[in-house]
Structure 1
Amino acid sequence: MSWKAKLNDTKTQLKSLNGLIPDTSAAFAALGKTVKTDTALTFKEKEYVALGIAVATRCEPCIMFHVEALIRLGATRDEIGEVLATCIQMGGGPSLMYAGKALEVYDELTS
């Protein structure tokens, strides 16, 4: 299955879940909104941090969403690469494996 298809499937799953637990979903969305502004860090910088956490925690759906957000924010392949290199330095072999997935997501979503 392609990353685009996986991303679409995940969005469909979340839509269904959001319909089941709307108050929880709204609360989570409100939390997310609090960090999506430029303050001491830009939103793009915060998304780099989020991608790093997604790789470190081995969360494929998180990787897809944060790569997608970074693409919308104008992140380059080289910038993504530097984030992934830092993930590998901090997380070792498991981060190396998920960094490869993250780069593949970036490449597919930008092709």
Structure 2
Amino acid sequence: MDTVSRNSSETALHHYKAGLGLFTQKMPNLARQYNAFTEECFKEGVLSQKEKQLIALGIALHSQDEYCIIYHVKGCLDQGCSEQEIYEAVGVTAAFGGGATMSQAVTLVQECIEELNQLKQ
């Protein structure tokens, strides 16, 4: 993987956060309420934060949302998911999303895992 590709996940996360920051400046009340809502959704509960990240990754894959795929692969890794757990979640999602899900899994998900694990080192 070349240098540009190796940093694509990190760059995408940076773009997302920068965009969210600009949106927050322009729409502070909406952004605050949205952030509070998503924080509540991802709190530890009957389902763990790890399980919730795996669910979110599956939804992001099914909806073909590349920014959310990257964000939730990172969330899965941050919550201690193994590659196998992530790939099993991909498999369940592929049962519903078919080829579109698999195309994201065999490219973007695998690249993100590799890139984000390298950033931890």
Fold match, TM over 0.5?
Answer: yes
Indicate the residue corresponding to 2:82 in structure 1.
76
1:110 aligns with 2:120: no
What TM-score, normalized by structure 2, do the two folds share? 0.85
Indicate the residue corresponding to 1:40 in structure 2.
46
Question: Quick one: percent identity of the two aligned structures?
Answer: 28
Structure 1 residue 42, shift from structure 2 partner: 0.8
Tell me, in whole angstroms, the C-alpha distance in 1 between the residues paired with 2:22 and 2:47: 33
Indicate the residue corresponding to 1:5 in structure 2.
11
Matched residue pairs, number?
Answer: 111
Tell me, in whole angstroms, the C-alpha distance in 2 between the residues paired with 1:6 and 1:33: 21
1:64 aligns with 2:41: no
Indicate the residue corresponding to 2:27 in structure 1.
21
1:31 aligns with 2:37: yes
SS of match in other structure, 1:110: helix
For the 8 Å contact 1:56–1:91, the answer to whether it is kept is yes
1:69 alignment partner AA:
G
1:82 alignment partner AA:
E
Q: Which runs of 5+ in 2 are unaligned?
A: none
1:110 alignment partner AA:
N
For the 8 Å contact 1:67–1:102, the answer to whether it is kept is yes
Indicate the residue corresponding to 2:103 in structure 1.
97
Q: Which runs of 5+ in 1 are unaligned?
A: none
Structure 1 residue 80, shift from structure 2 partner: 0.8
Q: Deviations over 1:40-74 (max 9, x none)?
A: 21111011100000000000111111111111111
What value does the CA root-mean-square deviation take over the aligned residues? 1.2
